[in-house]
Amino acid sequence: MIPGLETTITHQESYDRNVESLHSLGLVLPRISDLADPPERLAGKMADITDADPDSPDARNLFRVHWHNGADRRSLVSVPEHIVLPDALTGVKAKIVVALGNRFPMINTHKVLAAYGCLIPRLMSGAFDATRHRAVWPSTGNYCRGGVAIATLLGCRSVAVLPEGMSQERFDWLNRWLADPNDIYRTPGTESNVKEIYDACHELAKDTENLILNQFGEYGNYVIHRAVTGPALQRIFDYVNADNTKTARAFVAATGSAGTLAAGDHLKQVLGTQTGVIEALECPTLLYNGYGEHNIQGIGDKHVPLIHNVMGSDFVIGVSDATCDDLNLVFNTSVGRTYLSQHRGLAQEQIAQLGDLGLSSIANIIGAIKYAKFNDLGADDVVLTVATDGADMYHTEMAIAEDRHFGGRFGEVQAAEAFGQHILGTGIDHMQELGRFDRERIFNLAYYTWVEQQGTSLEAFDRRRDQSFWDGLMDLVPVWDGMIDRFNAA
């Protein structure tokens, strides 16, 4: 059995302790199918928990781990919150539609969903013992926060593993949620140093009380995003396409752990979309087998995640971290917003929405613009993407970018230049439309990380070539829901 794909109780004594521990906390767990369709399945529950603070370690927030929270993060909305970017901002005719991840509880990003998907099969099978194990969450920032949040609700201890160079806001949040500062494990480097995270996890795994929940290799991350994020994006498209005149052309997102990209497999199946994979131009692993360092925090690189369905991907799109840093200043400073209002004609409501876009969100938007330009899309074409988190995670990064790129002086002229260079001047360079041999090149590149370094069997590695493997993973959803039902009943 592949770890993380448990379908039965594998450790009865641990399972019994989990039941007792969560029962003592008065916990009830949501099914994956509940999180996939909250308007239909959770309306009553959401009405009952409106008094729960979405930023507190209140166990009722488990029922908010979905895309249908309103802007107050308490109410339930029928269509997930999203932005349809105006062409005055994007410079393209196609509609760029962005689902907003900062509506999720506790961490203002959808990584709580990934953490829940990774932990549930381990918890329901007893492979994870809530009374004994520490959940180790390796990430470049948001996933470890999501993991800490979910584990805290379940009364479990966590270890957050992330590079020391990530934004201060991430560490500030972790310090508020983790009682022991030793449970924050800082690894060398920044966004690009994923191998160092894995090395730290190998050391932590020597302690049998540590259970590593590696988002880059946990299929629960893939399953829950395909089951939950995919239908959420489908509802957004249906809403945008209310007049039935538009065509969904692609889902475009940064590779990251590749969990969110699983939503593209759902959209491909139901809407016939393509999937575009974004990576930092400063570390072009998929494009050029390259390496380097960058600051698009949250997207990881220098390797191909085990849960990336490479053979189902259609484009690789390079985006520079300088683009994201500079546009963060355009979108979230007074001089930048003045430029957008006076010279691009954006309304105040449209400008205010830009605060919902963090660095990786901006990368996703630029990737969507490049895809639209490459394919010469028109006004009736739609490109879907996600805003993983909002600008509030990167306030400290703005001063760093202003110093690095503008000598400490970012004025309206600089805002105009940045907009012209990074949006109006965005071209179709550093893009690749993937054919069969291109996909196989990228697929084979993952061998060195997962087989040689991380000990995945060659058989388990190669079975991922076939789309039937990925489709078959979705059979786990009703099985895991059944396990959750039995756990809640117990």
Q: What is the pLDDT of residue 149?
A: 96
- CB atoms under 10 Å from CB of 168, counted, come to 12
Task: Give pLDDT, residue 296.
Answer: 85
Of 205 and 191, the structure prediction assigns the larger pLDDT to 205
Residue 482 is which amino acid? G
Please say if the pLDDT value at position 299 is more than 80: no
Residue 151 vs residues 118, 125, 207, 219, 477: alpha-carbon distances, Å:
11, 16, 19, 18, 21
Amino acid at 165: G
Q: Which of 484, 465, 487 is nearest to 476 (CA)?
A: 484
pLDDT at 382 over 80: yes
What lies within 8 Å, CB to CB, of 402 at 6+ separation is 329, 408, 409, 410
Average pLDDT over the chain reads: 95
Which pLDDT value is given to residue 1?
67
The predicted model scores a pTM of 0.96
The answer to whether residue 456 scores a pLDDT higher than 90 is: yes
Q: What is the mean pLDDT of residues 328-339?
A: 96
- pLDDT recorded at residue 300: 62
Tens digits of residue pLDDT in 83-117: 999 999 999 999 999 999 999 999 999 999 999 99
- CA-based R_g, the chain, Å: 21
